[in-house]
Structure 1
Amino acid sequence: MNKEKRRQILERLRDNNPNPQTELNWSTPFELLIAVLLSAQATDVSVNKATDKLYPVANTPEGLLALGVDGVKSYIKNIGLFNSKAENVIKTCRALIEQHHGEVPESREALEALPGVGRKTANVVLNTAFGWPTIAVDTHIFRVSNRTKFAMGKNVNDVEEKLIKVVPKEFKVDVHHWLILHGRYTCLARKPRCGSCIIEDLCEYKEKVYPDS
């Protein structure tokens, strides 16, 4: 895909959604960090159902630490892998208190050192909470980037590197949200909704799917 076509795609996505937001519910960097940590292999809907009940009770490292592992589990048991996630939440809270005065660090290295926090989670927090031009590549973004030929790669790291390289600076902060929402609601895994896609004519996917096909 050439440079001009990529720009047109980004301009259309921007015009359609000028201020994209994560669908996870959060009001502080700590709430976002915990929500993203819980969202691995789980839907945002399931995470929001859990945190909507959890955060009014405890939404600080100190508060969650006071709940303990079993207390956290009681709020997140509807989420996949809740046992290991509860353990990581408590370990992360303890690390934040002991190493960062209870604050979420604005540092990739420090974030990735937290239990259960990998590169993707760190990218989301840096981008969404702090406005960094990072691009967290999940399954939706990986699929959209490869299927459209916008930024092709064999794995998520390859796609991230390609996106960082080809996305102009003015679009970098928001491109993560545009692509994930596009993959979640339009460019679906099994049957993409090409007929209602705003970038259909620019997409280089050869096996486009339409309602009557």
Structure 2
Amino acid sequence: MSTQRLILATRNAHKVTELKAILAEAGLDLDLVGADAYPEIPDVKETGVTFAENALLKAHALAQATALPAVADDSGLCVDVLGGAPGIFSARWAGRHGDDDANLNLLLAQLSDIEDAHRAAHFECAAALALPDGTERVVNGRLRGTLRHTPAGGNGFGYDPILQPDGETRTCAELHPDEKNAISHRGQAFRALAPLVRTLLTAD
């Protein structure tokens, strides 16, 4: 019997490697590929108003287009004093999608007068599994911490240089990738998704 193929809605090879490792840890033997395996399928517009909605939009679109089970995630930084913003707008907070430096600098400017006691924030990730028949599951992961006043660290991306996880003295960007993956919001969400993948994809 051929190995079940599972598509992850990303063109980021690092995410594919991360999920492969998590599925392997869970004892799942799946042929996991990224969206770049299907270049003819256009990227999905993230029109949802929550991380879960956006993750489901991407997972369902891939599942319908390929007739294969699909996984997608959506994540961002939620700052308590900003009422949960940037949230789903994290990647385009400064106006242009994916400009990490501009997003980071704008957020730091907005929080410049906020004292440490009120700089609590968390990374949030929703991971969704969708099957071609419309079956869906969503799980969440969260990494709480405090926002630094200045960036530190050269690892990671996005807001990693300013979020210091609770119980840590380093920012996410100062952690070794393996350390970060062990506690990250995405790692938590993907690990929570693994047993659902097992149930839905490997049932007799």
TM-score, normalization: structure 1?
A: 0.29
Higher helix share: 1
Structure number with bigger Rg? 1
Higher strand share: 2
